[in-house]
Amino acid sequence: MGITLVIFDDAHVSGNLNQHFDTSDGSVTSKHRAEQEARKRSAMGDDIKRLNAQQLQITAEINRLTELVKDYKAYKTFLDRLAPEAYRNAVQRRREIKLLTKERAKAEAKKLLISKSPTMGKSHINHIYLTKISI
Q: What is the residue extent of each domain of the chain? A: 30-82
Give the separation between CA 2 and CA 81, rounded to whole angstroms.
102
Confirm whether pTM is higher than 0.75: no
What is the pLDDT averaged over residues 80-109?
94
First and final CA of the chain: distance in angstroms?
Answer: 97
What is the pLDDT at residue 113?
85
Angle at 92 between CA 91 and CA 97, to 5 degrees: 95
pLDDT in tens, 42-93: 999 999 999 999 999 999 999 999 999 999 999 999 999 999 999 999 999 9
CA distances from 134 to 7, 109, 128 (A): 92, 11, 10
The answer to whether 114 touches 130, Cβ cutoff 8 Å, is yes
